[in-house]
Chain A
Amino acid sequence: MKSKNKLSNIVGLFALTIFISLLISSWLIFEPITILIIVFFIFEYFHKKLDSLIIILIFGFIYDGTLGYLFGFTNLIFLEIILIDFWLKKIIPLKNQRTHYYSLLLILNGLIFSLILNHSTSDLIPYLIINLIIGYLYFFSLVKYGR
Chain B
Amino acid sequence: MLITAKKRKSHSLFNKSQISINLSLILFIVNFFIFSANQNNPFFKSIKSSLNLTPYSLNFLLNSLSNGADSVHQYFHFKKTLIQENNDLENRLYLLKNKLLLQENFILDYQELMNKLEIKEQYFDNSVVAKILKINYSGKRHHFLINKGLSDQIQAGNIVVDDRGILGQVIDVQTDQSTVKTIRSKDFYLTGYIMIKDKPYLTLVQGDNQNLTINYFSKNTPIQINDSIYTTGDDMYIPENIRIGKVVKLQQSELKDFYKVIIQPASNPNAQKYLIVLK
User: CA–CA, A77 to B53, complex, Å?
Assistant: 21
Q: Which residue of B lies closest to A22 (CB)?
A: B58
CA distance A13 to B225 in the complex (A): 104
Judging by beta carbons under 8 Å apart, are B27 and A79 in contact? Answer: yes
A83 and B28 within 8 A (CB): yes
Residues facing A in B258-272 (CB within 8 A) are none
Contacts of B52 in A (CB 8 A): 65-66, 68
Collect the chain B residues with CB atoms within 8 Å of residue A26's CB: 55-56, 58-59, 62
B32 at the interface (CB under 8 A from A): yes
Evaluate contact between B19 and A65: CB separation under 8 angstroms. Answer: no
Which residue of chain B lies nearest to A63 when distances are taken between CB atoms in the complex?
A: B51
The reply to whether B27 and A51 form a contact with Cβ atoms under 8 Å apart is: no
- A56 shortest CB reach to chain B, Å: 9
CB pair A22 B27 closer than 8 Å:
no
A53–B24 CB distance below 8 A = yes
Q: Is the CB of B51 within 8 A of A65?
A: yes
Q: How far is the CB of B65 from chain A (nearest CB, A)?
A: 12
- Does A52 contact B53, Cβ atoms closer than 8 Å? no
Whether B39 contacts A70 by the Cβ 8 Å rule is: yes
Write out the residue numbers on chain A whose beta carbons fall within 8 Å of the beta carbon of B50. 65
User: Which residue among B32, B52, B55, B56 has the maximum number of chain A CB atoms within 10 Å of its CB?
Assistant: B55
Q: Is the CB of A86 within 8 A of B58?
A: no
Complex CA–CA separation, A18 to B17 (angstroms): 27
Whether A67 pairs with B19 at a CB distance below 8 angstroms is no
Q: Judge whether B171 is part of the interface by a CB distance below 8 angstroms.
A: no
In the assembled complex, B21 has its CB within 8 A of some CB on chain A = yes
| Main secondary structure on B side of the interface with A | helix
Whether the pair A76, B54 counts as a contact (CB closer than 8 A) is: no
A49 → chain B, closest Cβ, in Å? 9
Residue of B24, B33, B39, B59 with most partner-chain A CB within 10 A: B24
Q: Give Cα distance in the complex from A75 to B29, angstroms.
A: 11
Given contacts A25-B55, A66-B52, A71-B39, contact A79 B24 (CB under 8 A): yes
Tell whether A22 pairs with B35 under 8 Å between CB atoms, given A53-B23, A83-B28.
no
Cβ contact of B31, chosen from A25, A31, A51, A79, cutoff 8 A: A79
Shortest distance from the beta carbon of A26 to any chain B beta carbon, whole Å: 4
Q: Can you name the residue of chain A whose Cβ is closest to the Cβ of B18?
A: A51
Bitwise interface map of B from 40 to 71 toward A, beta carbon under 8 Å scored 1, else 0: 00001001101111111011001000000000
Q: How large is the interface on A (under 10, 10 to 19, 20 to 34, 35 or more residues)?
A: 20 to 34
In the assembled complex, the CB of A58 is this many whole angstroms from the nearest CB of chain B, namely 11
The 8 Å CB contact of A22, one of B14, B24, B44, B53, is B53
B28 close to A80 (CB less than 8 A): yes
> In the assembled complex, which residues on chain A have CB atoms less than 8 Å from the CB atom of B3?
none
Given contacts A31-B55, A53-B24, whether A70 and B35 have CB atoms under 8 Å apart is yes
| Complex CA–CA separation, A31 to B55 (angstroms) | 9
* Residue from the list A53, A54, A66, A71 in contact with B53, Cβ < 8 A: A66
- Whole-angstrom distance from the CB of B43 to the nearest CB of chain A? 10
A112 at interface by CB-CB < 8 Å = no
A73 at the interface (CB under 8 A from B): yes
- Give complex CA distance A22, B54 in Å: 7
A117 is an interface residue with CB less than 8 A from chain B: yes
Kindly state whether residue A23 has any CB partner on chain B within 8 Å: yes
**Cβ of B13 under 8 Å from chain A:** yes
B256 within 8 Å of A (CB atoms): no
CB neighbors of A among B125-159 (8 A): none
Q: Is B197 an interface residue (CB 8 A)?
A: no
Are the CB atoms of B55 and A22 closer together than 8 Å?
A: yes
B contacts, CB < 8 Å to A: 13-19, 21, 23-25, 27-28, 31-35, 39, 44, 47-48, 50-56, 58-59, 62
Known pairs A26-B58, A67-B53, A82-B19 / 18 extra A-B pairs, C-beta < 8 Å? A26-B55, A26-B56, A26-B59, A26-B62, A31-B55, A51-B19, A52-B16, A53-B23, A65-B47, A65-B50, A66-B52, A66-B53, A72-B35, A75-B27, A76-B32, A76-B35, A83-B25, A83-B28
